[in-house]
Each structure stands twice: as C-alpha cells, then as structure tokens.
Amino acid sequence: MFIDEVIITVKAGDGGNGCLAFRREKFVPRGGPSGGDGGNGGDVILVASQHYNTLLHLRFNPEHKAERGRHGEGSNKKGREGESVDVAVPVGTVVYDWETGEVLHDFTTPGDRFLIAKGGRGGKGNARFATSTHQAPTEHEDGKPGEERKLRLELKLLADVGLVGFPNAGKSTLISRISAAKPKIADYPFTTLEPHLGVVSTDGGDHRTFVVADIPGLIEGAHTGHGLGIQFLRHVERTRLLAHLVDVSEATGRDPVHDFEIVMAELASFSDELAHKPMMVVATKIDAAQDPARIESLEKLARERGLPFYKISSVTGEGLAVLKRAMADAVLTPSVLPTSA
C-alpha cells in the first residue's frame, strides 16, 4: 500500500522534578540541603531513511512519545535523562505544522535529522537554592513539560524525470521497458493506482543512471477531483524534467494535440511552476499509428513551443535508446531544456 500523507502526534518527554532533601548522616552535623536536580526529558527527532519509500508505517503508528526525565533524589543525585526517540521518514518527506500549515522541514538527503519536539528541562533541587544567608532552603522546581506537536507529513518522491500524460498513454509500459520497475500494465484506463519509480541506465560505456517516476494518468477536470492523477502530482514537483507522453494511435479516438493541451491545463491548475518545468514531448505507440498526420500535428505543436520531440514504440523498442540518452543528457548535464510556453 502506498501512503503519501499522514497526520502524527509527537510528544517530547517532561523534565523530572527537583528533589527536596536534607543530609542526615552520622558525624555530619550540618549536612544541609541535598536535593538533586531532575533529569531533562527526551527529544523527538525525525530522521530521513532510505529504508522507507512510503509513510505506511506511520499511518498505523501515529503517536510518538519520548521518555520523561527521572526525578532528582537525595544526596545530590540528579535524575536520569529521558531517552530520545528517532522517528524514521522516507527521503522526500515534507513536515508541516498541522495547526498553522507552516513548513517545518523538508527531508531531501538520507540521514538528515531534525529536532521536532524538545524535551522539558529538569527542575532544580533544593540544594541549588542554598546561599550563605539561606542555608536550609525548601524551594525546589518541578520539571518543565516537553513540547507536543501535531504534524502533517507529505511525501514527495525524489526523481529526475516525471512521466505525465493521459491514462493509457504508455507511461507504465515505457518505465517497464527502460528500467527494472514492474508496474501493472493493461488495456483499460487507470491501471496505475500509485506512483512507481524506476532506475534507468543508459546504453554504452558511460553507465549513467537516473530515476524516472510514473504517476497515474490525468484526465480533463483532474484538478477538480476527476480521476486519480491530481493527488499524485506532488511526486513530480521535484523532478528536473517532465516527459509528456501522448498516444498518437487511432485507438483513442481523440486528437493528440487536444490531449496534450488538456494535460498542460491540468498541470497549470495544480501548479504554474509545474506547468513550466523543462519538458519533452514523446509520441507513443507509433507502431499502431496508421495516420502520419497525427504524429506530424503533435511534432508541429512541440516545435512551436520550442520543446524537444521524440517518437517511440515501447512494444517494438523503436526510439527508446534515443529517448533514454536525451533524458540522461537533460538531467545529468548542466544544460537546461526549454520550458513549455
């Protein structure tokens, strides 16, 4: 199960109370105050881990609490510090304050650690209040409460290339041909119900690799809740390149140019920045395209917008090697592709 958004509660440990005590030992006639300080409470720390690629483990474990500090004791014994708690999250997780919506942290590198709730300070024992004029103090402090927060965690997958397009545009077939990913492939819409990642290696001796993300297809009105893709578009927000796949076969019964414009409108409705990311246009299923005019019209549109254009057939393999090299050149070199107009 792929879960990319959860709400959790974190509670740092409370500080231990300071102790009220006086020394009462044989041969120590003026022992004086001996109450020790309380220990500090444990912290709650979020840690980016490569061992998770979904937030599923937090959905069924939404509460995370650190240990409280122990109370101080007599003979000036300080209470033990509370144990801190590390909460693992996938790389790519964005942490929001649930009440204010403020972005607290964005985990983009493995091993990144962020203190999300600080433990309470331990209270002072009465020995800390002794002075030359106040030699038998009875004052002592209670420990401070640890921080408690309600958080919304949102996962945005980290990928170099994002595949977008209509349902059945050939995104799942393409990622299965150029990587080891094995998404579900069928001849009906919305076979992709969750994002998939695939690592692509270029042909030849350079051994360049990059990550491709396949998201569920977009349809007209997706930004208003139709279909599935709009809820997963956050996963291509971080990508450096969008590959816009358009089915040019006659099987769709639709105009490829119109399909392209619909998806672009949905991208812009979700995020203007997303619609203007570097992009390439990929005509798919050319092995089943009987009318060359359908390919030519899409190529003309790409040329007018200043976008690179490629023709592929994932079934026969035609154009896949050229497309992989173009993707690798775009994401692994300093040059930047033109953005969509």
Tell me what pLDDT residue 192 has: 47
Exposure b/e, 141-178, CB count within 10 A at least 16 = b = bbbbbbbebebbbbbbbbbbbbbbbbbbbbbbbbbbbb
Please answer whether residues 324 and 202 qualify as being in contact, where contact means their C-beta atoms are separated by less than 8 angstroms. Answer: yes
| All residues at 6 or more sequence positions from 133 whose CB lies less than 8 Å from its CB, including other chains | none
Residues 244 and 266 in one domain: yes
Statement: residue 252 has pLDDT above 70: yes
The pLDDT of residue 14 is above 60: yes
Both 309 and 218 in a single domain? yes
Q: Stretch 108-123: mean pLDDT, rounded?
A: 95
Whether the predicted pLDDT of 171 surpasses 70: yes
Domain boundary among 155, 183, 212: 155
CA dist 171 → 25, 233, 327 (Å) = 80, 14, 15
Lowest mean pLDDT among 52-56, 271-275, 302-306, 309-313: 271-275
In a domain, 337, yes or no: no
- The tokens describing 294, both together, are 């359908």
What pLDDT, on a 0 to 100 scale, did the predictor assign at position 227? 47
Within a domain: residue 103?
Answer: yes
Structural domains in the chain (count): 2
Question: What is the per-residue pLDDT for 282?
Answer: 94
Could you tell me which residue, 31 or 35, shows the higher pLDDT? 35
pLDDT in tens, 51-66: 888 898 999 899 999 9
Q: Are residues 175 and 211 in the same domain?
A: yes
Q: Is the model more confident about 152 or about 340? A: 152
Tell me the average pLDDT across 38-51: 95
Which one is predicted more confidently, 168 or 130? Answer: 130
pLDDT at 202: 77
Q: What's the rounded mean pLDDT across residues 138-166?
A: 91
For the chain, helix (H) and strand (E) counts, in that order, are: 6, 14
pLDDT tier for residue 250 given thresholds of 50, 70 and 90: confident
Looking at the DSSP assignment, which residues form a beta bridge with residue 213?
162, 197
Residue 215 lies in a domain: yes
257 pLDDT higher than 90:
yes
Same domain, 83 and 168: no
Last residue of a domain, one of 129, 155, 181: 155
- Are 147 and 171 part of one and the same domain? no
Domain that holds residue 51: 1-155
Q: Highest mean pLDDT range out of 73-77, 189-193, 194-198, 208-212?
A: 73-77
Tell me: do 251 and 327 sit in the same domain. yes
Kindly state whether residue 107 falls inside one of the protein's structural domains. yes
Q: Are residues 87 and 102 in the same domain?
A: yes
Are 317 and 324 within 8 A, CB to CB?
no
Q: Using CA atoms, how far apart are residues 16 and 72, in angstroms rounded to an integer?
A: 7
- 129 pLDDT exceeds 90? yes
Task: Look up the CATH number of the domain holding residue 53.
Answer: 2.70.210.12
Looking at the predicted structure, is the pLDDT value of residue 229 above 60? no
What are the residues whose beta carbons fall under 8 Å from the beta carbon of 225, sequence distance 6 or more? none
The enclosing domain of 265 has a CATH number of 3.40.50.300
Give yes or no: residues 233 and 97 share one domain. no
Same domain (yes/no): 173, 202: yes
CA-wise closest residue to 197 among 165, 168, 226, 171: 171
Work out the burial of residue 11: count CB atoms within 10 Å of its CB; fewer than 13 is exposed, 13-18 middle, 19 or more buried: buried
Q: Is residue 339 part of a domain?
A: no
Stretch 254-267: mean pLDDT: 88
How far is 172 from 194, CA to CA, in rounded Å?
A: 11
The verdict on residue 341 lying in a domain is: no
Residues 272 and 299 in one domain: yes
Q: Which residues of 302-326 are buried (b: 16+ CB within 10 A; e: fewer)?
A: beebebbbbbbbbeeeebbeebbeb
**Mean model confidence pLDDT for the chain:** 85
**Mean pLDDT value across residues 316-326:** 90
Question: What token pair was written down for 92?
Answer: 């790519």
Residue 226 structure tokens: 């139709």
Instruction: In whole angstroms, give the CA distance from residue 232 to residue 230.
Output: 5
Q: Last residue of a domain, which of 93, 121, 155?
A: 155
Q: Is the domain of 271 the same as that of 306?
A: yes
Which segments of 164-250 does DSSP mark as H helices, in order?
A: 171-178
Do 179 and 114 belong together in one domain?
A: no
85 φψ region: left (φ > 0), alpha (ψ -120 to 50), beta (else):
beta
